[in-house]
Chains A and B, each alone.
Chain A
Amino acid sequence: MSTEETREKRIFQLTRRKALKGLAAGLGALALPAKGASASIWESFFQKNFRELGKPELERILAKLEKEYSAQYGKSVKVKATPPLEGVLYGYGLDLSRCIGCRRCVYGCVTENNQSRDPQIHWIRVLRLEKERGVDLEHAEQYYNPSTVPEEGHFYLPVQCHQCENPPCTKVCPVQATWKENDGIVVVDYNWCIGCRYCMAACPYGARHFNWKKPGLPAGEMNPDTHYLGNRPRPVGVVEKCIFCMQRTRELDGRYPACVEVCPVGARKFGNLLDPESEIRYVIANKRVFILKEDLNTQPKFYYFYSV
């Protein structure tokens, strides 16, 4: 091979990373990391989609994030990337005959999952409905504020991500930044989301929330037990949602999601739909169960039921 051929070959042996660097450099410094930016900023800028990361790459990223978060929040922060457990498909039950609308689940969730406190982001929204009308969302009230709950003539319908089996939100994402994992949890790659909010328009349950501003998360309130696809601190301009507390539920010595634990009346049930002995399977088999907006064929794994 002549030297010229070799040189030509070398010129065209651009790796993806190199090509990107060239592209970014050409586009100028407007929105991109400015001069003096450290190598790590460039590295996270060029980071691939979570599902394309190799193991060593992912481990390096997790270690880097742990270091960054630990410094930022002044405590030892763990960032896990625990994959789904084999043979597990999560299902959630919500007992409407018990729920009293106290919203402890809303705030339990915020504390556990490091949502922004300013502005407030809530993954769970509790709707107050009129007993006379039944589940009539057009007459739902989210901003009820009585001195005590429950209120006469009303019942409460908490809504969070239904972890649909046929999710309309993941389908519409133009960059595959959101997908359904094997255990049924729909996740978002906060480092890949471009913030177009198409998924928010597609979700029939209002389960997706956007970081309109840099999330305000006080260091003292930060939960250091985090998952990469779940409750780690979020950047501005990306979408987030309920992930069934995967930082807890995917561990072998796992715990229930925070909302299940905190519910004072035991209205929330959680378990493995593939396990015939699980509580959630018992509920589905023996109680009056319904799912929200069944006609949309989203096939939620979030079951409302009446125990009495």
Chain B
Amino acid sequence: MKKVWAFLKGCFVLLRKGSKIYYAWVTFLLALMVIGTVAYISQMYSGLIVTAMRDQVSWGFYISNFTFVVGVAAAAILLVIPAYIYQWKPIKEIAILGELVAVSAMVMCLLFVTVDLGRPDRFWHLIPKIGILNFPQSLLAWDVVVLNTYLVLNLTIAVYILYNLYHKREPNKSFTTPLILFSIPAAVSIHTVTAFLYNGLAARPFWNASILAPRFLASAFCSGPAGMILMFQVIRKWTNFEIKNEAIFKVAELIAYAMFINLFLLGAEVFKEYYSDTAHLAPMQYLYQGLHGHTDLVSYIWTATLFNITAFLLFLIPQTRENFITLNIGCILIFIGVYIEKGMGLVVPGFVPDVLGDFYEYSPTSTELLVTMGIWATGLFVFTMLLRVAIPIMNGEFYVGEDGVHPYIGDQEFLFRRAVASAEEPDILTQ
């Protein structure tokens, strides 16, 4: 117990220490979080009337962001599988970063759902035994279960491995292996359940297509890894953590496959709707062409489509995939493309036209934008804090001292600009 306490105290010392850049970054995030909180308090005070959501479009920007972020979290398994199943070393070194991304993303997901509630004070109604969780009837109940499981699972794995590294001992395989294996179906399940949440509604033909869950997974395996590739480069440029080029290129290759499947499934969906040309075509027409003069989403979805196709080509060709300029352009295009497609492009056409043929064009208000920004900042803040502890541990700069209780804290800077980012240095994990 004393050891754990000393470790936690060491963590707090680490969180407080850092370069000016670190302080500036954290202050920036905290400022955004404060702005978001103020916006949320005003929303609680006035009610959800301050959003642009109405009876016709009853879910909007919050749930769009939620859906996208679930995908980002699910993508962590794209690192876990090559790392732990195939024991591929370059990725094994960074797999823990994927788990930390998953933890931060789950925190964001839970926040996005909470800010969307009309009665956040009654969240406890969802807790089994104390309240009533309508499981297994309601897919939202399923989502509550799988999201929380996934959060706890990733947090447990990451903390356990890091805590052992801190003590300079090998993590106990018989404890980690089952958890890691379980995290793979769990990652698939969070995205599948979120897709089913929409999929199961016969009232909304745009969502009521069996292809929805596969499309969710395919797009998640594009956007999540794309975000991670960008993040890896930031980490190895601004901290003294090493990430090998080959790990990045392998992830990029996986993105190419996932994007191909994503585009293929999208094509299958578009063909079915347009060729059969039934009454169910209306939402897709609204999205891609505009309908009865309502064209709010058209430019967005074509931007997304163009971005996704361009990025696919960039990732398909090995020369552009392994060139950092084109690689990064591709990652940014994918991240934005999927953000539009899996966010507003998925949620809003489910409601437009509404079930009685009414057209209400939704576009988020400033409150929704500010609260959303605050939640993204919170996610980045959580991730930064996790990295602040994880990276020194993995670099061997934060470990338990000679007495077996008090920690040695080496890393004083954390964030700093590195002169040369060399990717081929001795293995840091096995020092």
Contacts and interface: CB of A to CB of B under 8 A. Distances in A.
Given A192-B122, A194-B126, A142 B358 contact: yes
**Listed residue (A127, A201, A239) with the most chain B CB atoms within 10 angstroms of its CB:** A201
Given A19-B130, A20-B130, A32-B121, A237 B48 contact: yes
Contacts of A24: 124
A127 B137 CA distance: 33
Contact of A168 (B46, B202, B350): B202
A94 B357 CA distance: 20
B141 interface: yes
A159 B354 CA distance: 13
Given A20-B130, A172-B138, A296-B202, A194 B49 contact: no
A138 B59 contact: no
B138 A198 contact: yes
Interface string A11-28: 000001001100110000
Interface string B16-46: 0000000000000000000000000000101
A201 B59 contact: yes
Most buried by B among A175, A211, A213: A175
Chain A interface main SS type: loop
A297 B208 CA distance: 14
Contact of B203 (A20, A139, A201, A212): A201
A192 to B, nearest CB: 6
B356 A214 contact: no
B134 A176 contact: yes
Contacts of B44: 31
Interface size class of B (residues with CB under 8 A): 35 or more
A211 B118 contact: yes
B117 A140 contact: no
B75 to A, nearest CB: 25
A289 B63 CA distance: 39
Nearest to B282: A138
B357 A127 contact: yes
A138 B354 CA distance: 9
Q: Which of A49, A137, A171, A196 has the most CB of B within 10 A?
A: A196
Interface residues of A, number: 54
Contact of B279 (A138, A196, A202, A235): A138
Nearest to A197: B58
A99 to B, nearest CB: 16
B353 interface: yes
Given A173-B138, A174-B134, A296 B203 contact: yes
A210 B55 CA distance: 6
Interface in B114-173: 116-126, 129-134, 137-141, 144
A20 B124 contact: yes
A206 B47 contact: no
21 contacts: A24-B124, A31-B121, A138-B353, A140-B357, A142-B358, A172-B137, A175-B133, A175-B134, A193-B118, A196-B118, A201-B59, A201-B203, A201-B350, A202-B203, A203-B203, A210-B48, A210-B118, A212-B47, A212-B48, A214-B47, A237-B117
Interface of A: 16, 19-20, 23-24, 31-32, 45, 49, 119, 125, 127, 137-140, 142, 159, 168, 171-177, 192-198, 200-206, 208-214, 235-239, 296-297
